[in-house]
Structure 1
Amino acid sequence: MSAVRVRQHVNPLSQKYQTPIAPPDWATLYQTTTNPLHLDIGCARGQFLLEMAQAKPDWNFLGVEIREPLVVRANEVRDELGLKNLHYLFCNINVSLSTLLGSQMLGGATIQFPDPWFKKRHQKRRVAQPELIQTLADRIQPEGFLFIQSDVLDVAEQMRAAINAHPAFQPSPDSTPWMPHNPLPVATEREIATLLEGKPVYRSWFTRLSNESK
């Protein structure tokens, strides 16, 4: 996938990103609408989902990203490969998730290496806010999954704490303290680069319970 030059950081609290997007016509996005849907939040250039869509043709994949040029290019590459189980959307997921999905349920969701927003006054810009976790709990079907990972311990701990605080999610036993290996068949570009540098990746896997009592 060729490089697209865009800003590395986008402030999700900016006014231009506060308008929720309407739900798409799902029948026009995917060839087989009955496939389970995997949502990747903050998909960047979309390389992870590009490989996942080919590795798991019996799933549909949706990547959302706040940097529009990356979404445009990712959809171009998808079209070049003729993939019918993959789509990318430009939106601020913290504003749009509930309206975007409508009644559409998810088989699972991933949040991988989100922008860390290190400064304390900026941490309200982080993606794993309680409202987002609540919407994911509402939209991930029972026995579905939520997988998170980061190379920044504070970010991983914040995401894990937000998810653990919701009664709908049960952490995998091998997520304590952190999952030693990625259970998915594809690694993100950031994950590969981090591991090649000999640095740790902090991962947790959660299952959506059929009821909300842990």
Structure 2
Amino acid sequence: MPLVRVRQHVNPLSDKYQQPVTPPNWEKIYADLTQPLHLDIGCGKGYFVQDMAQQQPDWNFLGLEIRQPLVEYANSRREELGLTNLHYLFCNVNTSLHLLLSSLPPNTLKGVTIQFPDPWFKKRHQKRRMVQPEVVEELAKNLVSGGLVLLQSDIEAVAIEMRDRFLEHPAFTPQNDEWLPTNPLPVMTEREQSTLSRGEPVYRVLFQRQ
């Protein structure tokens, strides 16, 4: 299906996005539900997790995105490619993460990426940012010991805020003292590629669940 024109930003606090999503039947989603799961929060068009799923068939991948047309577009591509270790869900992470993660088989969530989330520059809008303490808490509850969280942004203030939210939680330990100079994953997002092609910095930090 073709991708229709989509708004770049949506307000996650609006009434439209306050209804928690109903978790799907995961056994009908993934061919092997016992495989480790990588969660990409704010997946956009979903090319990052699509490439990861193709490169790592022994993992399952789940992309969450608040813009429904992007999710529909990504799932249509997944069906065309016949990938049985990949799925995309339309949801507001701040209202649906608990239900989604608690519905998954225990001890399967082993990797999380939050990459280039909407910055919401104006101070009065910063409560709309994705990485809130409640999101960090849900990840702490559900990520396996030793599981990894990669945070990335091309806006230093946003990266600092995300980093500090995870630093405030005792379950997470940073794996680098300074910003990571390179991406530890084998795939880059489109935003990361375009940022680096302009010679601009990407601010990255990797956390491990204790």
TM class, shorter-length = over 0.9
Q: CA deviation at 1:22?
A: 1.9
The residue number in structure 2 matching 1:138 is 141
CA contact (8 A) 1:23 1:102 kept: no
Equivalent residue of 2:145, what SS? strand
Distance 1:49 1:4, change over 3 A: farther
Other-structure match for 2:198: 197
Shift of 1:4: 3.5
The 8 Å contact of residues 23 and 103 in structure 2, kept in 1 or not, is answered as no
* TM-score, normalization by structure 1: 0.94
Question: Within 2, Cα distance between the matches of 1:44 and 1:59?
Answer: 20
Alignment of 1:118-157 (within 5 A): 118-157=121-160
Q: Match for residue 47 of structure 1?
A: 47
Number of residues paired by the alignment?
207
TM-score (norm 2): 0.96
The Cα offsets for residues 59-89 of structure 1, whole Å up to 9 and x where unpaired, read as 0000000000000010000000000000000
Equivalent of 1:166 in 169, 176, 182: 169
Q: What is the alpha-carbon root mean square deviation over aligned residues? A: 1.1
Letter in 2 for 1:70: L
- Structure 1 residue runs of 4 or more that deviate by more than 3 Å after TM superposition: 1-4
Alignment gaps of 5+ in structure 1: 210-214
Mapped contact 2:37–2:111 kept (Cα < 8 A)? yes
Q: Quick one: percent identity of the two aligned structures?
A: 60
SS in 1 for 2:204: strand
The aligned residue for residue 6 of structure 1 is 6
CA–CA separation in structure 1 for the residues paired with 2:113 and 2:2: 24
- C-alpha separation in 1, matches of 2:129 and 2:154: 15
Q: Aligned ranges for residues 1-214 of structure 1 at < 5 Å?
A: 3-104=3-104, 105-172=108-175, 175-209=176-210
Once residues 3 and 147 of structure 1 are traced to their aligned partners in structure 2, the CA distance between those partners, rounded to angstroms, is 28
SS at match of 1:79: helix
8 Å Cα contact 2:41-2:93 kept in structure 1: yes
Give, as a single letter, the amino acid of the residue that structure 1 aligns with 2:190.
Answer: E
